[in-house]
Each structure stands twice: as C-alpha cells, then as structure tokens.
Amino acid sequence: MAWQPSPESLSTLAACLKDSLSGFDVAAQKQAELMLTQAKSSPDINNYLVYLFSSQDPPAGLQCTSQDYFLVRSAAAIMLKNNIKTGSKQIPESTLALIKMGIPMCLQDKHAQIRNYAGNITTEMIRRGGIMSWPELLPELLKMIGNETGQIANEAQEGAMAAMAKICEDNTKMLERELNGERPLNFILPKLIQATKSPLPKVRAQALTAINVFTARKPQAMRNSIDDLLQHLFSLATDSNNDVRRQVCRAFAQLVETRPDKIQPHLPGLVDYIITQQQQTEDEDLATDAAEFWLTVGEHEHLWLSLSPYISKIIPVLLECMVYSAEDIALLGGASDDEDEDDLEKDIKPQFAKKSSARQANGEGAAADPARNGNAYEKLASMDDDLEEGEIDDVEYGDDANPDERWTLRKCSAAALDVFARDFRDPVFHSILPYLTKNLKHEDWPHREAAVLALGAVAEGCMNVVTPHLPELVPYLISLLNDPEPVVRQITCWTLGRYSSWAADLTDPQQKQLYFEPMMEGILTKMLDSNKKVQEAGASAFANLEEKAGKRLEPYSLPIIQQYVRCFKKYKDRNMYILYDCVQTLAEHIGPVLARPDLVNELMPALIERWTKVSDQSRELFPLLECLSYVAMALNDAFTPYAQPIFVRCVNIIHQNLEASLALANDPSLDAPDKDFLVTSLDLLSAVIQALDAAKSSKLVQESQPAFFELLTFCMEDPTDEVRQSAYALLGDCAKYVFEQLQPSLTSIFSVLLKQLDLDSILDEDIDNGFGVVNNACWSAGEIAIRHKSNMAPYIPELFQRLIEIITNPGIPKGVTENAAIALGRLGLGNGELLAPHLANFAEDFLNSMDEVDPSDEKATAFRGFTAIVEKNPMAMEKSLLHFFTAIARYRDLKLRSETKSGLHEDFQKTIGIYRQLIPQFDSFLGQLQAQDQQTLRTTYVF
C-alpha cells in the first residue's frame, strides 16, 4: 500500500515549517526550529516534506492561506534539500522513490521560486548519489526542455532547463567522466545547444548558462560541438533578451581562454559587438559582462596583440563607462562626515585567515601581495553562505547595492584599461591624455573622479611615459586629497598609492622633499579623514606606499607609528582591519628598526589595548593575530614583555577549538568551530617561537597547558588543509628553535607526519591545498633530520620511500619536490650508511631537484647530507657523477660566512679527493665538464 501521511502530523509539521520562515515572531521561529530539529529523527520526515512540497494546494484538513502555504512549501523544500545533503545515505529507497516522483511535478509548478527549489533538490540528489542513482532524470529533463510534442507547458520547460543548468554547474566533472562507456556530456551538450533556439527567452538564457559551465573548460564534448556552438552564438548575438546576450558575451569571453583559435578570425566583428553591448548601460549586468571580454583578451598570452588596431575605438568606451552613473551617485549617498558613526555588523566584510605561507626551499615564505587590498577595481570575494538560487536569506535584499562593494561596469572598465596599459604601454597613455586634460579639473566631481581613476589605472603599464608629467600631476593629486567630495578623496588616495614607487625612488633630497614627503604626509593625513571610506582608502594606499618604499621609510617611522596610534583610538571596526595591514607591512619592511624603544613604546600599548578588547570569538582576531606575527618577527627579543600572555591565549584558543571539534563529532547538531582561529593562532605561535631568545621560547613551550606538542599533533591531523599547513610550519619552527622540547614527542609526531607524506591521501578536489601541506611536512621533516641525525634511523625506511615518491613524481609542483629533495639530502647527516645502498636509484632525481634551488643554509645542509651518503658508496654515482661535479662547480655563495657553508666546502673538497683516487684518468673525466665549470672547480678547490 502506498505511503499516506497522518493528518495530525502533517498539520503540526506545516505549522512548524511556516513559523520557521516567519520574520515577525522570533520566539515562534526559534520554537519551530527546535521542533524541526527533533523531527529530523523521525524515519518518515522526508516523506512528509516531499508530500507538502509537491502538493500545489493545501492538503485536506490543512487550514492555510495561499501565502502561508507557499511559505510551508518553501521551508519544506529547504529542509528536504539539507536532509539530502547531510544524510542521503540514510534515506530509505521508498522515500527516494517518493522524492523522484514528486520533484518533477514541482519543476512544472506555476511559482518560479518553487521550480527553483525543485532544481536545487534535483542537483543535490545527483551530487550525493551520482547520475546512476536517478538514471531516468537527465533524459526526462531533456525531453521536457525539447518539447518535441509541443504539449509541455512553458513553466515545465523553464523549470527543467533551470534544473539542468544547476546540475551542470554542481556536477561538472561527473558529466565529463566516462560512465558505462559513454560520457554523459557528449549526449547532453548538443541538446543544450539545440535548446538555445527555444522560443522561450528563459530557456535560451539558461541553456547558455549551462553551456558556459563548459566553455571555460576543455571537455571532449566541447571539442566535438565547438563549431555548432559558435554558429548558435552568432545567431543569438542579436537576441532581443538581455539575459541571453549576457550569456553570449560570457561565452565569447570564456572561449578566449579555451579556444582562442576560434575567436581570432572573428575578432574584428566581435570588437564592434562587444562595444555595442558595453554601451547598453541601462542594463549594467549586460554591459559589465561585455566589458569582461576586454579583460580576458587583454590578459591572453597572444590574442591581446590582435586588438592593436582597435585600441582607439575601445578606450573611449572604457573611459565613458568609468564615470559613476546617476544611480550609483544616489547609492553612494554624497558627502558625509561619518567618522564618529559606529559600523553596522553588515558593513564589516567577513574576515578569513590568510593561508599560512608554504615554507620555500628558496626562502622562508611567500612574499606579501604587492597589490594589497587598495585595488580600486578588484573583484570583491563573494562569500558562499551555502544559499542557492531561490533560497531565502535573512539579510535584507539590496545591502550590497553600494557600488563600492560590488563588481561594477565602472570597475571592470578601469581594470580593462589597466590591462591594456600593461599590454600596449605608451599608446594607451597618449590616447587618454586629451581625456585627462579635459576632466582632471572638471567642475563636476564624477568626471573629476573618473579622470583620477583612469590616471591610476594606467600607472603600472604607462609609468615611463607618465613620469615626465608626474612633477606636475602629483602636487595636483595631493591637492585633491582635500576635495569636498569624499569619493574624489578616496580615489585620489588609491591613485597616489599607485604612483608611490616613483616618489619613493627619487634620490635627490630636494625632489624627495618636494614630492615623496608631501605624498606620504598627504596619504597619512587621509587615514584620519572625516569620512570612513576615505580613511580606508588612505590606509590602503599607505600600505601600498610601504611596499614600494620599504626601508626608505625608516627615517619617518616615528611619525608614521604615531599616526597609526591615533587611528587605533579613532577607527571603528571595519577600518581596524586595514590598519592591521598597515602595521604588519611596516613591520615587514623596516624589520629590526621597529625594536627601537621609542617605537615600541608608541606601538605596542595600542596593539595590546586592542588585543585585550577583542574576544576569542571575534573574527577581528584573524588580522590582529597575523599583524602580531609580523610585529613579533620584527621586534625579535624586544617582543619578550608581551610574549607570555599572547602565547598562553593562542594555546587556549587552539585548545578550545579542538575541544569544539570533538564535541561536534559526538553531537552533529552543534555549530562547527571556525578553523581560521586555529590557523592564525598557530601562525602567531610560530612567529613568537622564532622571535624570542631560544631559552625564552623553550620556557613558553615547556610551561604550556595543555601540553604543547599534544595539541600540535592534533592540529597535524585536522581534516582542514589550512590548519595542517600551519601546523607543519610550526613543527618545523619548533625543530629549529626549541628542538629539546620537541624531541620527546617525535615518535608520535612521526607516526602522523609519515601518513601526511602519502600522496594517495590527497583528494583530487583539494590537490592545491594538499600540496601546501605536503610541502611544509617535507620542510619540517628536514629541519628535524639535521638535529636528530642518527636517531632518525627508525623512521628512515618509510620517510625515504615517501620523499622518493615525491621527487620522482612529475605531477608535483616544483617547490614541493625541492623541499622533499632538501629533506632527503638532510637524512644523510648521521644516516649515510642506511641510504648509501639506494644511492644509484635517487642521485639523479636529487640533483635535478636541487639544480634550481638558490644557495641557502637549507641547500648547504642538504648537500652536506648527500656528500655523506656519497662517501659511503662512491661507486653508485657512476651515471650521475658528471652532474654532481657540475653541481659542485656551480654552487654559489661558498663565502664561508657560516659554519654550514665552510663545512660544505670541506665536504666537496673531500668528495673531489675520493674520486681523484678512484678515477685513473681524472683529468680526462674533468675535461667532459664545460670549460667554465672546470675553471671554477680548479680555482675553488685543491687538486
């Protein structure tokens, strides 16, 4: 007998679902959410949900207005989708059959939002169960879309097409993979191309949306259908529907990346077409998607050259689109002194821990991002809060409407101008010069602002041709810092930041006084502007100036820090984040100078005051902890007075976060802890351990409660890649600076580390992050090896095998293989006899990996370990001996400034002596080397 709902249960559930989406009665909403959480444990819950969702009218006995019933259906859909997402394997077959029967009906619903919900559930079913879990779905959807009988309702065609677009977007790889000897996409893509001829504009637009999932990729199906697709795109180029033309523009932009050969012949016509679409400013989304085409062509390795004849046509359109529209001006809200107004929580962008830098063979970590976040037209990261089309967000619609907060036609056009300036250089400046002359001093501020934006946009590409004009332009820009319109002051900060390298590079003292100092002072002053957005732009521009000026800021460090301290007192929450960036960038560039007592006494009380105010749960901790990491590294031992409470708090934050993860494992209804707290705390612990005198660092580690290395081992096993990457960075730093404290924990640490080096443990979808973890694990293993020496013996067999797998795998990034090779070489220090029997098998791979590593103590210790292995089995080097001698000859930086490097010189000398004895015709052997290498060997070593 078919399943039937209990009327009483149905009524109770419907009431809870309605209340769960009620924004008016908070108490009722909370009670409903609690009851729905309890209802999840009912074996029939999903049957009830699909029953309510798929019933177009209230079931008998359910007293509901049509508006309330719409809410019930919406809430049922959201809950059903989430249940499939979190527990699809627990859903019985009978329930899945009900879902498969009900959802296609919902795809035909008269309400567009219900159809969207049905599409979300459909794609979730495929994502969790695979295509074969619902084999009839895709053919059924394509049948509805195609409407071959002419009997399918418009709503059904639109619902099926929207569902198909979602499936393509969420299950891309699944559709491209072979299944029972066929790739599903080979069948689907031609049908989607055919659907672009539908008489329904929504179907045409959604068909193109689905196709565009694949135009950015290179599946076999796209190769098979590319000519047919292009034919359809050209037909659709003049479609009356703006959404269709948007997707056409997007398709052309994506094909630039994947099929430039197909775009090149049509470029003259495409230039005119894209210009026409970009000028459709009444539909900004269409115009912006059109403008994206210039970005992709401009950034293409070869295709940009083909735009040369059209630059004079394109640039005026870009300039025209860089002026704020009347609508944008209204949204900006005009001049405002809002420095004393508190930030609303919604105004503060979500903060995320920056990924811990991978420890590099050619240095300690990756360089800071020179672009900073002062980029006036950068794409703002859109936060994925797990909502899908048609789902209800509790944030009021339109909050992101401020043109400063979203990707706009204006920003896209400016970005395209920047790219063209870097492509074509001087001609771009010559083409915008008349515009600048006319508009830089325009009486209407939107034109003035756009001219300043244009001047900033061409800074990187046109610096040489702009330079003669800068003595005139810079003082004028500095005067614009006092423009009555905040938006002009804001963009002027950014543009001055873009030209700060010119001012910072001036060597003549008089010119520095005329240009650099007023520029620096002007931007610093704007950090305390009466408008908060100008403050943010000023701080951002100053961080940019710090990058460009570097150590040349040392003489001005006291007034800079004094201004920062004023900012700490004045800033509201949002701008505090960029202020941390300014402080850490200064610390990074002036380094030990920051340890001057007068500077420490100014800066540290302000930072510590903020440190005490920010709670352990606040996301402001991320930039604050990162900032303190840079400050600690700059102060070194001068950080000691602040280290202990900071160290203890970081350990506690890690402990709380790990406890919360354990609690979540036992009770899935709890909130998941934010792993970014782990990442930033681990990174700051690394910085403190490096900064302090070794004895003080050791004391902090020793006194840690809970036990320091117990917590670190848990972090090394955390499922989140970023946490493990930071954990292994900290492990390596502990090996370098507090090895005595680390040593007793090495047995348990190696049992975890060796598993991490197993390449099979890296999932395909996490491959990039996974390599960052492996990289730091290799680095930390090498740091332990040079201190643990012969005590490494128990770990050598497995560790050696893992490192060999890494350095011989061509799919591994170069930086990772270099770190693995360094670790492998370092194993020879104290374990040469264990590795010597395998030397012939890994010598060439080791030498290949080391060839491009810059000289450093790490490279030197790796070669010292390698020569120790060679000494134990010199005959094994027969096939690699010329390569080894070439590496010895080309090893630079043997200036004997450290014990490691003088020791390496002696080791190389000893190795040469061994082979001089072993090879009868030694001079003939050396004669096989390049002349320059022979000469270097003879002048550097004794023969």
CB-CB contact of 543 with 553 (8 Å) = no
Amino acid 362: pLDDT: 57
Dihedral, 844, 850, 851, 854 alpha carbons, nearest 10: -170
Angle between helices 517-526 and 557-570 (to 10 degrees): 10
pLDDT in tens, 277-316: 999 989 999 999 999 999 999 999 999 999 999 999 999 9
Q: Is the predicted pLDDT of residue 346 greater than 70, yes or no?
A: no
Helix (H) or strand (E) holding 417: helix 409-424
SS3 label, residue 930: coil
693 within 8 A of 729, measured Cβ to Cβ: no
Of 199-203, 242-246, 618-622, the poorest mean pLDDT is in 618-622
Which region among 84-93, 783-792, 833-842 has the lowest average model confidence (pLDDT)? 84-93
* Contact predicate 729/686, CB 8 Å: yes
What's the rounded Cα separation, in Å, for the pair 412 and 749?
Answer: 49
pLDDT at 373 over 50: no
Please return the burial class of 146, using the count of CB atoms within 10 Å of its CB with bins 0-12, 13-18 and 19+. middle
Q: What's the whole-number mean pLDDT along residues 515-540?
A: 97
Structure tokens at 18: 């309605």
- Per-chain mean pLDDT for the chain: 91
Q: Is the pLDDT of residue 920 over 80?
A: yes
pLDDT score at 82: 93
Task: Identify the DSSP state of 113.
Answer: H
CA-derived radius of gyration, the chain: 32
Residues present in the chain in total: 943
**3-class SS of residue 23:** coil
What distance in Å separates the CA atoms of residue 453 and residue 457, rounded to the nearest whole number?
6
Q: For 516, which DSSP code? A: I
> Which of 930, 941, 878 shows the shortest CA–CA distance to 906?
941
pLDDT given for residue 855 in this prediction = 87
Q: Is 867 in a helix, a strand, or coil?
A: helix
**Euclidean distance between CA atoms 98 and 92, whole angstroms:** 10
Q: Concatenate the DSSP letters of all residues of 539-607 into one string.
A: HHHHHHHHHHHGGGGGGGHHHHHHHHHHHHHH--HHHHHHHHHHHHHHHHHHGGGGGSHHHHHHHHHHH
Interatomic CA distance for residues 521 and 227, integer angstroms: 58
Instruction: State pTM to two decimals.
Output: 0.85
In terms of C-beta density within 10 A (0-12 exposed, 13-18 middle, 19 or more buried), how is residue 79 classed? buried
- β-bridge mates for residue 360, sequence order: 363
Residue 179: helix, strand or coil by DSSP?
strand
On the question of pLDDT at 464 being above 70, the answer is yes
Chain centre distance of CA 898: 38
Residues of the chain with pLDDT > 70: what percent? 92
Q: Which of 550-564, 672-686, 748-762 has the lowest mean pLDDT?
A: 748-762
Query: Above pLDDT 90, what percent of the chain?
Result: 82
SS (H, E, C) 656-680: HHHHHHHHHHHCCCCCCCCCHHHHH
Q: What is the DSSP letter of 145?
A: H
Q: Does residue 363 sit in helix, strand or coil? A: strand
Between helix 311-321 and helix 426-439 the angle, nearest 10°, is: 40
User: What is the structure's pLDDT at 377?
Assistant: 56
Euclidean distance between CA atoms 694 and 697, whole angstroms: 5
- Taking the C-alpha atoms of residue 277 and residue 271, their distance in angstroms, rounded to an integer, is 10
Reading the block at residue 138, the tokens are: 């895709």
Q: Is 322 helix (H, G, I), strand (E, B) or coil?
A: coil
Whether 274 and 296 have beta carbons less than 8 Å apart is answered as: no
With 0-12 CB in 10 A as exposed, 13-18 as middle and 19+ as buried, what is 196? buried
Residue 879 vs residues 202, 793, 847, 873, 874: alpha-carbon distances, Å: 66, 27, 12, 13, 11
| Residue 843 CA, distance from chain mean position | 36
Task: Assign 895 a pLDDT band (cuts: 50, 70, 90).
Answer: low
Please report the DSSP string for 241-266 in residue order. Answer: -HHHHHHHHHHHHHHHHH-HHHHGGG
Q: How far are the Cα atoms of 131, 771, 816 from residue 716, in angstroms, in the given order? A: 36, 14, 18
Bond into 509 cis (ω within 30): no
pLDDT surpassing 50 at residue 764: yes
> What's the rounded Cα separation, in Å, for the pair 429 and 900?
52
Res 898 pLDDT > 50: yes
Tokens encoding 320:
């025209």
Q: Are 454 and 414 in contact (CB under 8 A)?
A: yes
Residue 150 phi, psi (nearest 5): 75, 5
Judge contact between 281 and 321, C-beta under 8 A. Answer: yes
- Per-residue pLDDT band at 392 (split at 50, 70, 90): very low
**Highest-scoring range by mean pLDDT, 33-37, 86-90, 652-656, 668-672:** 652-656
Q: Which DSSP symbol is given to 515?
A: I
Residue 344 has pLDDT above 90, yes or no: no
Backbone φ, ψ for residue 363 (5° rounding): 150, 175
**CB 205, CB 239: distance < 8 Å:** no
Q: At 237, list the tokens.
A: 């180029």
Q: What angle do CA 203, 205, 207 make, to 5 degrees?
A: 65
Angle at 847 between CA 843 and CA 848, to 5 degrees: 115
Instruction: State how far the Cα of 226 lies from the Cα of 262, in Å rounded to an integer.
Output: 9
Q: Residue 767: how many CB atoms within 10 A of its CB?
A: 11
What are the backbone angles phi and psi of residue 200, rounded to the nearest 5°? -90, 120
- For residue 360, the model assigns a pLDDT of 67
Per-residue pLDDT tens over the stretch 117-146: 999 999 999 999 999 999 999 999 999 999
CB 275 within 8 A of CB 294: no
C-alpha distances out from residue 56 to 103, 111, 114, 190, Å: 12, 10, 10, 34
3-state secondary structure of 182: strand
360: helix, strand or coil: strand
Cα 389 to Cα 252, 300, 875, distances in angstroms = 25, 32, 67
pLDDT given for residue 351 in this prediction: 55
Q: Give 388's pLDDT tier (boundaries 50, 70, 90).
A: very low
φ, ψ at 924 (rounded to 5°)? -65, -40
Torsion angles phi and psi, residue 343, rounded to 5: -75, 140
